[in-house]
């Protein structure tokens, strides 16, 4: 594809295919993202629609991986065009020198008409054949594009030159315009080659992620270690990874210990210690020790594949600001054709020679090609998402990227986001004559299989005491309240204090103790036993949590940017207040919201948005997903759950709250580049068309300016690659 009009044509062609619900075509990546109803022939129909629109369909992964890293790939036709065109330009350049420098040579070096025709014709009809093909498909589809403008303009210059040459008297010296037709085609092809080189840099991050998969793995089978292609690995295979090698898939450590470089995936420069039971991510680099791993995820289910998929989605989807460009592009080529005809008529009817009138019209056609308009937005988004991913910020939604810099309020989930999420059991307080081991055994049996942080704390404490927890029978979970199960024929509950009151447990000596523990910032649960006369409280369990390293400093940095921060917690008021004050939240300003059920978090976000705030939500758990979707911008912590990552528009690949400010910063810089690119693209056309129409720009300069406008916009976007958090 060559310009924004191509985008519109491909989108129209794909939209007409039966079953297609949504289409988004990206000029910078020359790719389409299509939502289509399930159908065995859908892919074939889409490919045929692309082909009939005048383009060559290729699978996205094949197209990406087939891109060559050679710097000079595709330059041969450009070099040939420049070699044939330069002799045509030389006399014009010499004629422009001041008088007295080389006066005789300028006339002597003027090439004979037959030689000019011999040099220009192969450029026009061989190297320029691609413009004719694309122009024909555009006309057949009932619209225009850059290729149509170039084909019309250069054909007019070539035809005018032929007419002037063949109609002139013998031996007469006439000024021909072969150099205009040949040089415009050569310069446009040079510009497209430079664009292609720039696009290679834009997709470098995705290509680098693809290359992280090692081709061979050391599979441990019944006969020992065997080298197999990584594509043949199966789930639960045992694989050896030697120092310095990449892990072939996601897995867990079975034997050995080492440090792993995960910087390409998370942006974390420091190696991460790994030991038995630690999780491993495919594509990361093993450090000093040999590790035996068990494969847990392969192919499309692996972390690396999900990263690549999310990045490609972000780069394929259009940002909302692109809608304006699409509207302009849809009418741009017809308007330019109209302006070129007006220019031709105005010059000719005002008494100027027809050849001069036609040359000025050609200049209008060439200068107005809408390449830069189509590249302005996707180029900036590609570079912005690529450099963000390099530093551990995975942006899967172009709308989130465009909106993040406008955020004025950021809401944080507490547990696992601001706090470690590794709650510890601080103590057990018997109320019914049970010993601590008995309390732990009952509580652990009620928590087997639960992923809640407090459940994990109970299970860790029981394991440290050497207690064996057997899952309770008829186990039921009550979100935001607790769990219930049957142990030794008796029904027990491990309940939040809120559920204790709802169950009608009579206050007793435990009430004052619970209030005291909560006032100290602890989260308190109660172990209950269901009896014929009601619920009996057997013990209190107190849990505590710590703030994540760097969370206090990261929140302070956000406040320095003028952002309002809010903490949302399901904990009781005392526990939430203790942690909130430690993190610098101001309860008097409504920045601490406590005792919020999972289903109520989204309502809190909507209430903030109803006050005319642009709200971002930062969370990591399944229960944060509705709030992440409800917020203007959702940011998921990458070490959290898959549900949260899918619900959010931005994923922070490591649990570092400082990346929230970095995500806002990269959004701001990317949007700034988009606006700069669009400004210069519009200004370029608004200034260039009048200059060409008034005869102040010849076709050669117009072609050079048109080619360089796209290159300059890509170069401006590529400056984003220097960004660092």
Kindly report the three-state secondary structure assignment for every residue of 368-385. Answer: CCCHHHHHHHHHHHHHHH
Domain membership of residue 528 as a residue range: 424-544
For residues 111 and 195, membership in a common domain is answered with yes
The predicted pLDDT at position 107 comes to 47
Q: Is 114 exposed, middle or buried (0-12, 13-18, 19+ CB in 10 A)?
A: exposed
In a domain, 684, yes or no: no
Q: Which residues are catalytic?
A: 413
Residues 406 and 443 in one domain: no
pLDDT value, residue 332: 77
Read off the pLDDT of residues 380-429 as tens digits, 9 standing for 90 and up: 888 888 888 888 888 877 788 888 999 999 999 887 788 876 778 888 99
Q: Decide which of 273, 288, 305 is a domain's last residue.
A: 305
User: Which segment of 330-334, 476-480, 617-621 scores lowest on mean pLDDT?
Assistant: 330-334
- List the structure tokens of 638: 């990458």
Residues 211-234 have pLDDT tens digits of: 788 889 999 988 889 999 988 999
- Shared domain check, 469 and 325: no
680 located within any domain = no
> So what's the pLDDT on residue 106?
45
Based on the fold, state whether residues 287 and 362 are members of the same structural domain: no
- Does position 687 have pLDDT exceeding 90, yes or no? no
Would you state the structure tokens that stand for residue 431, as one six-digit string? 């109320």
- Confidence check: pLDDT of 724 > 50: yes
Specify whether 335 is located in the same domain as 480. no
Residues 294 and 243 in one domain: yes
Which tens digits make up the pLDDT trace of 333-347? 788 889 999 999 999
> What is the average per-residue pLDDT within 26-53?
88
Helices 178-202, 113-122: axis angle to 10 degrees equals: 30
Cα(4)–Cα(149) distance, rounded to whole angstroms? 13
* Spatial distance between the Cα atoms of 6 and 107, rounded to a whole number of angstroms: 43
The rounded distance, in Å, linking the Cα atoms of 675 and 669 is: 10
Last residue of a domain, one of 278, 305, 332: 305
For residue 424, what are the β-bridge partners? 544
Cα–Cα distances (Å) from 700 to 85, 90, 91, 331, 627, in that order, read 11, 13, 14, 25, 57
Residues 155 and 199: their CA atoms lie apart, in Å, by 29
For position 555, what pLDDT does the model report? 94
Q: Report pLDDT for 65.
A: 52
Q: What is the pLDDT of residue 508?
A: 82
Q: Of the candidates 65, 88, 103, which is a domain's last residue?
A: 65
Asked if the structure places residue 677 within a domain, the reply is no
- CATH number for the domain harbouring residue 250: 2.70.150.10
Mean confidence (pLDDT) of the chain: 84
End-to-end CA distance of the chain: 34
Percent of the chain topping pLDDT 70: 89
pLDDT (average), residues 151-174: 83
508-537 pLDDT, tens per residue?
888 888 888 877 778 889 999 988 888 889
> Model confidence at 702, in pLDDT bands (50, 70, 90)?
confident
Say whether 225 sits in a helix, a strand or coil.
strand
Rounded distance between C-alpha atoms, residue 265 and residue 247, angstroms: 12
What average pLDDT does range 250-265 have in this prediction?
Answer: 88
In the block, tokens 């117009």 appear at 702
What pLDDT, on a 0 to 100 scale, did the predictor assign at position 253? 94
Helix, strand or coil for residue 201? helix
Segment 94-121 shows an average pLDDT of 68
Place of tokens 């459940």: 455
Kindly report the CATH number assigned to the domain that includes residue 450.
3.40.1110.10
Are 82 and 197 in a shared domain? yes
Q: Which position has the token pair 């990361």?
A: 284
One domain for residues 631 and 607 = yes
Ranges assigned E (strand) in 299-408: 393-395
Among 27-41, 359-373, 485-499, the least confident range? 359-373
What pLDDT score was predicted for residue 639?
A: 62
Please give the tally of structural domains in the chain. 5
Give residue for tokens 């976000």: 605
- Helix-strand-coil split of the chain, %, nearest 5: 55, 20, 30
Residues 145 and 121 in one domain: yes
Q: 719 lies in a domain? A: no
Are residues 317 and 199 both part of a single domain?
Answer: yes
Whether the per-residue pLDDT at 662 is higher than 90: the answer is yes
Model confidence at 95, pLDDT cuts 50, 70, 90, reads low
Give which of 513, 522, 475, 515 is closest to 494, Cα–Cα: 475
Concatenating the DSSP letter of every residue in 657-710 gives THHHHHHHHHHHHHHHHHHHHHHHHHHHHHHHHHHHHTT-S-HHHHHHHHHHHH
Judge whether 548 and 655 are in contact, CB under 8 Å.
yes
Residue 80 sits in the same domain as residue 135:
yes
């Amino acid at each position: 594809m060559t310009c924004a009009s191509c985008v519109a044509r491909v989108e129209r062609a794909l939209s007409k295919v039966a079953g297609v619900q949504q289409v988004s075509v990206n000029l910078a990546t020359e790719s389409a993202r299509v939502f289509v109803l399930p159908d065995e022939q859908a892919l074939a129909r889409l490919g045929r629609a692309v082909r009939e629109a005048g383009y060559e369909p290729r699978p996205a992964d094949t197209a990406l991986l087939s891109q060559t890293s050679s710097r000079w790939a595709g330059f041969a036709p450009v070099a040939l065009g420049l070699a044939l065109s330069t002799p045509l330009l030389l006399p014009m350049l010499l004629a422009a020198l001041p008088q007295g420098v080389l006066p005789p040579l300028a006339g002597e070096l003027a090439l004979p008409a037959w030689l000019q025709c011999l040099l220009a014709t192969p450029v026009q009809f061989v190297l320029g054949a691609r413009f004719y093909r694309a122009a024909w498909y555009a006309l057949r589809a009932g619209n225009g594009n850059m290729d149509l403008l170039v084909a019309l303009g250069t054909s007019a210059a070539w035809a005018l030159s032929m007419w002037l040459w063949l109609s002139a008297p013998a031996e007469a010296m006439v000024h021909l315009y072969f150099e205009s037709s040949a040089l415009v085609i050569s310069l446009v092809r040079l510009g497209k080659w430079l664009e292609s080189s720039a696009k290679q840099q834009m997709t470098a991050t995705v290509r680098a992620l693809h290359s992280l998969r090692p081709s061979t793995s050391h599979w441990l089978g019944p006969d020992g270690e065997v080298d197999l292609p990584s594509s043949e690995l199966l789930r639960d295979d045992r694989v050896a990874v030697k120092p310095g090698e990449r892990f072939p898939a996601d897995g867990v450590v079975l034997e050995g210990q080492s440090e792993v470089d995960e910087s390409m995936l998370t942006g974390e420069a420091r190696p991460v210690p790994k030991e038995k039971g630690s999780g491993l991510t495919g594509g990361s680099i093993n450090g000093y020790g040999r590790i035996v791993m068990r494969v847990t995820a392969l192919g499309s289910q692996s972390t690396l594949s999900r990263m690549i998929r999310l990045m490609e989605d972000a780069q394929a989807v259009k940002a909302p600001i692109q809608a304006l460009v699409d509207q302009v592009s849809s009418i741009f080529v017809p308007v330019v054709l109209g302006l070129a005809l007006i220019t031709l008529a105005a010059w000719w009817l005002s008494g100027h020679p027809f050849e001069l009138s036609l040359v000025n019209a050609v200049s209008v056609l060439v200068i107005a090609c809408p390449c830069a308009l189509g590249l302005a937005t996707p180029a900036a988004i590609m570079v912005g998402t690529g450099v963000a991913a390099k530093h551990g910020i995975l942006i899967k939604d172009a709308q989130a990227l465009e909106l993040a810099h406008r955020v004025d309020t950021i809401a944080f989930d507490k547990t696992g986001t601001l706090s470690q999420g590794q709650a510890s059991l601080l103590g057990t307080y018997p109320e019914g004559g049970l010993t601590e081991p008995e309390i732990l055994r009952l509580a652990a049996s009620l928590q087997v299989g639960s992923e809640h942080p407090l459940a994990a704390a109970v299970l860790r404490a029981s394991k440290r005491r050497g207690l064996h927890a057997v899952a309770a029978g008829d186990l039921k979970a009550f979100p935001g309240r607790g769990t219930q199960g049957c142990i030794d024929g008796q029904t027990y509950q491990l309940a939040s204090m809120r559920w204790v009151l709802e169950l009608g447990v009579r206050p007793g000596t435990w009430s004052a103790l619970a209030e005291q523990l909560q006032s100290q910032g602890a989260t308190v649960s109660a172990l209950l036993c269901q009896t014929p006369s009601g619920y009996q409280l057997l013990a209190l369990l107190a849990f505590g949590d710590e703030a994540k390293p760097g969370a206090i400093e990261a929140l302070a940095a956000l406040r320095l940017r003028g952002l309002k921060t809010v903490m949302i917690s399901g904990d009781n008021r005392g526990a939430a207040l203790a942690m909130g004050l430690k993190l610098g939240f101001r309860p008097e300003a409504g920045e601490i919201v406590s005792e919020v059920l999972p289903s109520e978090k989204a309502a809190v976000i909507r209430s903030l948005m109803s006050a005319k705030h642009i709200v971002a939500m930062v969370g990591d758990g399944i229960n944060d997903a509705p709030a992440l979707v409800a917020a203007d911008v959702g940011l998921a912590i990458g070490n959290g759950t898959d549900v949260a990552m899918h619900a959010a528009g931005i994923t922070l690949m490591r649990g570092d709250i400082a990346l929230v400010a970095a995500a806002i910063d990269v959004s701001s810089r990317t949007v700034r580049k988009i606006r700069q690119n669009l400004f210069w693209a519009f200004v370029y056309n608004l200034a260039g068309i009048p200059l060409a129409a008034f005869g102040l720009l010849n076709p050669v300069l117009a072609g050079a300016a048109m080619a360089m406008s796209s290159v300059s916009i890509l170069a401006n976007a590529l400056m984003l690659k220097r960004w660092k958090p």
